[in-house]
Amino acid sequence: MNGHLPEVITLKTESSTHFGYDNHPIAEINDHVVRISTMTEPYHWHFHPNSDETFLVIEGRLSIEFEGGSLELDPGQLLTIPRGVRHRTRPVGGRSVNLTFELARSETVGV
């Protein structure tokens, strides 16, 4: 650490001023990235051909829609979507905040 302490990330601060759809990185771990997503509107249909994507809901509820149905996650629930699976996300109610974990070089392909 060369005499420097690691940076503390405060999730409430990272998500407090964002509305609409905001998804930005807050940490990198080896070859993966952790992003915080603040949503007040849906995100479009897409898939990741080269990375699984894990969602961890920390505020509100999150709906994840698949071609064959949908799942709703509550705070504290986690779900991993395998690479190549088409999906879209949307908040249930006014707003959701979640963490996503994926390869730092993850590709996103819109459908």
The pLDDT of residue 46 is 96
In this predicted structure, what is the pLDDT of residue 50?
97
Please state, in angstroms and as integers, the Cα–Cα distance from residue 103 to each residue in 6, 48, 62, following that order.
22, 10, 21
What pLDDT, in 10s, does the model give residues 31-72? 999 999 999 999 999 999 999 999 999 999 999 999 999 999
Could you tell me the pTM of the whole model? 0.88
Domains annotated on the chain, with CATH: 23-110 (2.60.120.10)
Please give the helix or strand (H or E) that residue 14 lies within, else none.
helix 11-16
CB 63 within 8 A of CB 91: yes
Return the higher-pLDDT residue of 15 and 88: 88
